Structures are given as structure tokens and as C-alpha cells.
Chain A
Amino acid sequence: MKLLFEIGFEELPVSEIETAVKFISDNIKENLDDLRINSEGINVFSTPRRLVLSISKLSKKQYDLITEICGPKENEAFDSEGKLTEIGIGFLNKYKIDPRLSYIKEKNGNSVLAIKIHSKVLLTNKIISDLLIKIVFQIPFTKTMHWESSKMRFPRPIRWIMCLLNNDILPLQIAGVASSNKTCGHRFMSPNFQEINQETYFEFLHKNNVVIDKFKRKEIILDKAKKLAKSIGGILVIDESLLEIVSNMVEYPWPILGQFDSKYLAIPQEILICEMREHQKYFAITDINGNLMPNFIAVLGSKPNNEEKIAIGNSKVLKARFEDGSFYYEEDLKKKLDEFVDEPPEQLMEWASLLNNNSNLRRAAYLSKADLNSGIVSQFPELQGVMGGIYALHSKEKQEISQAIREQYYPRYAGDKIPSTLLGVYLSLSNRLVILHNNKLPKGNADPFGVRRATVGFVKMILERKLDIQLNGLIADKQILDFIMGRAYNIFSEEYPISIIEATRSVSDFNLCKWLARIQALHDFDYSKISAIFKRVNNIISSKTYLKCIKLNLKEEIEFKINNAIDEIYLDSDYKSILYKLSSIKDMLDKFFAEILVMDIEQSVQNSRLTLLSKIYEKIIYIADFSKLK
């Protein structure tokens, strides 16, 4: 059987369409399996006005299901004469099973009375409508409303339902709307409802100006927008998230080229691009050098009769937006950036000074939140940081301070760049320390306040910039420390074996860079040969009590050799060479353990030898806890 199910509604918000498509795609197959209906060729399509589920093959009925049920033990189900007891009869009656169909079965060493139940087999057309209704009701939309007497909740009113099983109407009702075999085309270009069937549906949509496949709409938009940009010698600024939004806003995409007065190019281009994207959903165009051109691409929702008129109309709106942008911008420029500082961000400044006590960083931190009080940022919150940087330059702040303010929120997402200057990195680290201390630490996968994302960025900056920061000297809160260490652990585990990460964790003293350097040194080193002997040293030292000698009472030549070799090892950050030197005493140690008794009867000799081993141990534990290595 074939199923075609279309819900038509008033224009749904972009994010809700995405939610619906994802939910249905993720769940329909499993739901059908649960219902014991075989299915193949499932497709989910969407436009702002419709959600379509098409299944090219459905079994006509449920497949057979036989379930075995075990009942009472044999000696309880039957009396000594082999007759069914009340217990036995009760069990069979409960399932309405003829005693002749029951049997005895071994289960967990017991003989029990068992039966087989054949589940009822229902026809697909009797049960699938309930499934469709259920799945529509379960879509986890973010914001819903009600509008009719059944009080069903959906993001916007549902207006029609087309549902065909093969070519029969599958009767069902949602929010007071009954299913039919009719659908309509584009809202303005072909609005009439018509009867369709399995064979004509997609053809009907195509002829009636509905591009049902979002990816096809994306392709149309991108293709034409690029051509339009090229026609004026420009390059389309491809904004993936904007493309996603725009392709979900129309049933019939029609990109057009518009232009605006080049005098607006005097406004920082970040503002212009933001105005175009956020308010108007227009794409920007740059020349080959990356400078913004006074043009834009608007994506219409229908094919216009007079393209030029609409292009002019759209540019009028943009002009008003730019006028507004320049109004706020010029108002903002009347003040210096520090005049926007309402209440200095004390907490942030404190973290900054703890990270690096330097006057530029102090100034950058002091000014960093000032742009939140500016007109432009009140209109475009996503320009925070960027505007602060621009206004800092206008206010004759130092270039590096401006740059740091501008990039203070980098990295904003996984894979984003980190601030290009050290000052910017310190400012960004300070921001994240504030976030960590002002919010609950996230559990599980949820990250409502972006604490996890902020922390991952925090760790990445420290590692990329190789910042020598001992975190427990900076952060007092044990839970926060552990949370940061946990993020670092996760980052490391993407590249290195867990045992190495664990063996080096506690010895690295909350210094992420030193932790990573130890991991790398060990990872590049074949420690398998030395690991056993180091574990032996470790075991002896930790199991014996002894008095540490200030002056060693050494006797044998091998002891002197080892002592000299150990004294040659300096505990600096060249972990590789330490490892190399340590491994070079391995043969000496073998000889030592073979020829010498550590626990000599003479107390001072014994103490001396244990002290010698503890000297070795100190060098080993400086690199890693070998007992944790595999």
C-alpha cells in the first residue's frame, strides 16, 4: 500500500517546520515497527504551509506475532492426579486458552505451564490513522497555540488534511479538520483546491508552483542568487543559516537583485549586513576584494509580474532600515565608549586582573560591556563586541584594546576561531569565568546557559595559546575546577588513550598545558619496557616506611651510578628528555634489583637505598602515575 499524508496549515515558523520534519523522520519507522507494519520508502517533505509524509510501501496488515507466556509451576498447576488445579485453570482462563493448547516448559530449572498467544492481526487501514494522529500530536514544538474548540495545540491553525491510503481517502480528523483527497497549490499563484491521487500529487504540486523539497528550494535560491551576484561582478555572501531560513519561508523561491544608495557604505558593513539579514532576510554581495557592494538579493515567495517594481519596493524598505541604522550609529558616535559604561563589570575586571595584571587588559575589561548600552546593540544584540571594538577605535582607545573588545566572545561555537591577540584571549577567558561562576553547572546533555560551550572554549584557548595557568591557584570552587578538568579530559580523549590521560591528570597540578604536554610526551614514547620496573619502584616506596637520609650511605657501584644519573635529571617542562633519561636508567635498575637487597639488615643502608628509590620515584611521578598506565 502507499500512503500520502499532507497537513496544510497557516504559515509555520521556520524552526517549528524543522522540528516537525525531524521528529516525523526520526520516529515514523519505529512507530510503524511497533505497530507491526512493514514499511519502505519513507519521505518527509515540508514547506511553510504543509507537511507531507509519503510512504511508498506499507504492508496491508500487521505481521504475525506469537508470544509465549509462562504461568505457574507444573506442581502448582496440576494436582497429583494430573488434573488442572484452580491455579492452573485461573491462568488459562485469564488468557482464554484451551487447556489442550497449553504445554509444559523448562524455565530456570523449573517446569512451568506455558501457552502461546497469537496476537490479533489488524488491517493497516484500520490502525494507521491513529498512528498518524498520534505522531502529529507528539511533535515537540517550542511554541504552540489553540484556536478551535478541540483545543488542540499546534504552532499555527491547521487548515486542511489530505490523506490517501492507495487511492482511498483515509478518514481521520485533527483539530476539527477532516481528511480529504484534495490539496491546493501556491497561495497566490494557484490557490484552488483540487482532487489528487497517488500518481498525480507530486506532479500537481510542481505544476501549481509548490517546490515541495526544501533542498531543491535551497538549490534554486543559491543557484540564482549566485548568478545575480555575478551579473554585477560581485560574489554572493553565502550565509548557510540565512539560506536555511529563507528556503523554509517560501513555497516557490524567486531571488531578485536589488540595490541601495552607496552612501550607506559609510556605515560599518557589519551593521549593514546585520540589518539585511536579521530584518529583511536579504543576502549581501561583495566585490572580489571582499568589500560590500551596494546590492542585495531578496528571495520572493512567488514569481512576480514586475520584478523591477518589487526590487525597488524592497530597496525602499532597506533604505529606511539603513536610515535607522545610521541614526543609531551616529547617535552612538556622539558619545565616547567609556561614557556608555553604566556600571563597570566588576566581576569581569576582577577575573581579568587575576589572569594578567596589565593596564591594557584592565581597560579592555572595563570597556568590554559598554556597547550593550549603545543604540546599535540594543537593536542588534548579535553585534555586541563588534560594535564595542568599532566604538573603541572612534574613542581613540588603543588598537589592541579595540581588537580585544571586538573578539571577546570568540570562540562562539565549536570550530570557531579564538581571539587573534593575547589580550583578546584573556578577555574572553574572563568572560567565561564569569559565566562559570554565575550559572549552575550543566548536567547531562542540556546546556541552557551555554556554560559547557563557554568552558570548552575556555580550555581550547588555554591550550592553543599555551597559557601557563595553574587553575587551582585561580579558581577556588572545587566543582568548577572539576568541570573544567572534565572538559579538558573530553577534549584530550578525542585524540589520546584514556590511560595516558588519567596517568598524567593528577600530576599536572591543574595546569592544562602541562597536562597535555605530558600526555603528548608519553604518547610519543614507548613506555612499555620501563613501565614494569617503575611500577616496582612505586610499590616499594609506597609500602615501606623509612627515614629519608640527607646523606646517602651508598655501598655498591651500581648505586652510585644510579644516583649520579638521577641527579642529572632536571624537572623542567622538557618531558620527553626526562622520559628518555629515565628510561636510560632502566638497565641499571634491573641490575640493582637483581644484585642488591633493598631491605639490608643495616638500618642506615636500608634507609639509604629506600631514599635512593624515592629520588627515582620523584622523577617518575613528575611525568605520570605509572600505576595507571596500561
Chain B
Amino acid sequence: MLNMLTFQELIFALQKFWSTQGCIIVQPIDVEVGAGTLNRHTFLHVLSKDAWNAAYVQPTRRPTDGRFGKNPNRLQHYYQFQVILKPIPANPQEKYLDSLKSIGLDLIDNDIRFVEDDWEHPCIGASGLGWEIWAQGMEITQFTYFQQCGGFELSQIPCEITYGLERLAMCIQNVDNIYDIIWTILPSGQKITYGDIHKQEENEWSYYNFLYADTDMCFAHFQNYHDQALKLLRHGLTYPAYEYALKCSHLFNVLDARLAIKPTNRPIFISKIRALTKQCAIQYLKITDTTL
């Protein structure tokens, strides 16, 4: 028990590992996002040709994945640890495997596997090729070579490594249920679990996402945020416009969980968000890349 990392130590260890590898440790974005990729430290920074190596924790929301606190490994709010490496180092897979070793994961006894999984995020016009990485059959990481972002073919290909921190902790701590993960052990010896910190809110947010989110309000906000983003883009304010695009993306996810968007209408919403993020990408490149 003593040799194994707590949830917070796991974060420290990964930060330390990637910091040693030359990554800047940045902080999460304070807008609801469905993936660490949407954080501007990834979305905007991968667009340019310049080197960019960064790592950060990103709290992530996926309304449809809520299970009222009852599923052993599904959450509507969870933590990703995101690493972005640009340009790609000589052997990124080895680096990743070293990071697993550094947090005490035996590669053979966890049957670590790279299983094909091409990744795509239509709202931000991003896609790439890579794997989901399995430990004992459980997906613990998504590993992607970005090819496109903001609708642009990338000239400098980055490698994105996204750890699911809860899944990783379950593996290291050998627990069956997310809520049993030891978050930390206080000096008094008291154990604080993931459940202590998150279980009640998982339950409440599941009710919100599936039952009580006011869909009229969400549709109205979607429209308002969308208009705001357009206005900001006209004023050349890329960062604020991008955050408003993210707010639209989250509202879309909530409406999706509420089954308020007909399948035939989904592409319309997605293309609206994509148009915004694409404009943000164009403006960002205008500022940073004089060759465009």
C-alpha cells in the first residue's frame, strides 16, 4: 500500500516526468471542455510550426458519460493528463512507456498494448492516427499523431498523449471502482478517496445532464455564445472568441445528453462550432505565422 502512488502523487509524478523531458507544465483551461485537446495549449499551439512541448491536467466533461455515480469506471467529469510534443521526439512510444514505468506500472504484468484507434474531433476540425493504450484490457491512454487541426493539414506533426488519470490510478492502486481510488492520505493517516471528493457531484450532474438541464436555455445560450464568438472574431480577439466557441461545444454536449438534438440536426450544430474554431485557427496563425 505504501509503495503505491495516490491520485495526487500520480499527477505529481507525471508532471515531474514530463517536466524532466522538457515539457512546460501549464495549467488547465477554466471553461468546460470535453477533452484536453480543446485547451488552447493544445488546439492553438499545434497549429504553428514552432516547437511546443507542454503537459497539463485538464478536468474534462462529457455529459453523456454520466452514470449517476454507479458505474465503476465511467464519469461525466474526470481528469485527463495531456502531453503535447512538437516536433515528435525520436521515439515517442518509448518515452510514453518510460512514463508508465516512472509511475510504477509493470509493462508485462499489465499487458500494455497499443490498439489502433484513430481519433477525430469534428467540432475543432482535428484528426489524427494512433492508438488507445490498454493496460489489462483497460484503455488508460490515447496516443495520437495529429494530422489536422482547425481544418488545416499540420506542417509540423505533433504527438499527443492523453492519460485517463482515474483509469491509470485504478490500475496502479489495483482497485475495482473509481470511487475507491485513494486521492491522498492525510498526515493523520486518514484516507481521502476519489468518492469522497466526487461521488455526490457525479450523481447530481448526471441528473442535470440527463433530466434537468433546461434545453430552451441551452439552445438560447448556444445562439448567444455563437453570436458573441463571431463578434469577437470580427474584432480580432482570437482567445476570447475561442473560449466562446468552447462554451458552444459544451452546450452542444449537454443538449446531446438531453437527447434534445435530432440526429439529422447534429451535423448542423457541429458545423457551426467548427466554423468558429476554424476562424480562430486562421486568426491565430495570422498572428503567429507570418508565412501564411
Contacts and interface: CB of A to CB of B under 8 A. Distances in A.
Interface of A: 10-14, 48, 143-148, 155-157, 159, 188-189, 249-250, 280, 282, 298, 300-306, 309-310, 313-314, 316-320, 323-324, 327, 342, 373
B137 A323 contact: no
A11 B131 contact: yes
Contact of B74 (A249, A314, A318, A324): A324
A316 B138 contact: yes
Given A156-B129, A310-B109, A320-B71, A249 B115 contact: yes
Nearest to A12: B116
Contact of A188 (B107, B118, B128): B107
7 contacts: A144-B129, A146-B147, A303-B108, A304-B111, A309-B109, A310-B109, A316-B72
Contacts of B118: 143
Contacts of B116: 11-14
B138 A189 contact: no
B269 interface: no
Given A310-B111, A310-B136, A314-B137, 15 more contacts: A12-B116, A147-B145, A156-B129, A249-B115, A302-B108, A302-B111, A303-B108, A305-B108, A305-B109, A313-B137, A316-B72, A317-B136, A320-B73, A324-B71, A373-B263
A305 B157 CA distance: 38
A342 to B, nearest CB: 7
A146 B136 contact: no
A444 to B, nearest CB: 29
A334 to B, nearest CB: 12
A381 to B, nearest CB: 13
Given A10-B114, A280-B137, A314-B137, A157 B71 contact: no
Interface string B70-104: 11111000000000000010010100000000000
A220 to B, nearest CB: 16
A317 B145 contact: no
A317 B115 contact: no
Interface of B: 67, 70-74, 88, 91, 93, 107-116, 118, 128-129, 131, 135-138, 145, 147, 157, 170-171, 176, 262-263
Interface centre among A48, A148, A306, A313 (most CB of B within 10 A): A313
Contacts of B145: 145, 147, 156-157
Contacts of A304: 108-109, 111
Nearest to A189: B108
Nearest to B136: A313
A225 to B, nearest CB: 16
B72 A320 contact: yes
A314 B129 contact: no
A10 B93 contact: yes
B167 to A, nearest CB: 9
B112 A319 contact: no
Given A306-B109, A316-B72, A327 B67 contact: yes
Nearest to A305: B109
Majority DSSP secondary structure for residues of B touching A = loop
B112 A327 contact: no
Closest 5 CB pairs of A and B: A313-B136, A13-B116, A11-B114, A314-B137, A320-B73
Given A10-B93, A323-B72, A324-B74, A313 B129 contact: no
A568 B225 CA distance: 85
Nearest to B176: A316
B243 to A, nearest CB: 30
Contacts of A324: 67, 71, 74
A317 B129 contact: no
Contacts of A316: 72, 136, 138, 170, 176
B136 A155 contact: no
Contacts of A342: 262-263
Given A143-B118, A324-B71, A327-B67, A317 B113 contact: no
Contacts of A156: 129, 145
Contacts of B71: 320, 323-324, 327
Contacts of A189: 108
Contacts of B170: 316
A571 B29 CA distance: 82
A282 B111 CA distance: 14
A619 B221 CA distance: 77
Contacts of B135: 313
Contacts of A282: 137
A373 B113 CA distance: 33
Contacts of B109: 304-306, 309-310
A620 B228 CA distance: 80
Contacts of B147: 145-146
A122 B196 CA distance: 75
A250 B111 CA distance: 11
Contacts of B136: 310, 313-314, 316-317
A301 B157 contact: no
A320 B128 contact: no
A438 to B, nearest CB: 15
Nearest to B72: A320
A301 B113 contact: yes
A376 to B, nearest CB: 14
A249 B134 CA distance: 12
Contacts of A144: 129
A148 B88 CA distance: 8
Contacts of B67: 323-324, 327
B129 A319 contact: no
Nearest to A145: B129
A188 B108 contact: yes
B114 to A, nearest CB: 4
A303 B170 CA distance: 22
A188 B88 contact: no
A8 to B, nearest CB: 12
Nearest to A282: B137
Contacts of A148: 88
Contacts of B137: 280, 282, 298, 313-314, 317-318
Contacts of A48: 114
Contacts of B73: 317, 320
Nearest to A254: B111
Contacts of B93: 10
A327 B74 CA distance: 11
Nearest to B93: A10
Contact of B129 (A155, A298, A303): A155
Nearest to B117: A13
A327 B118 CA distance: 26
A155 B129 CA distance: 8
B111 A300 contact: yes
Contacts of A280: 137
A148 B159 CA distance: 12
A319 B73 CA distance: 9
A90 B276 CA distance: 67
Nearest to A319: B72
Contacts of A14: 116
Nearest to B171: A313
A313 B113 CA distance: 14
Contacts of A314: 136-137
A147 B108 contact: no
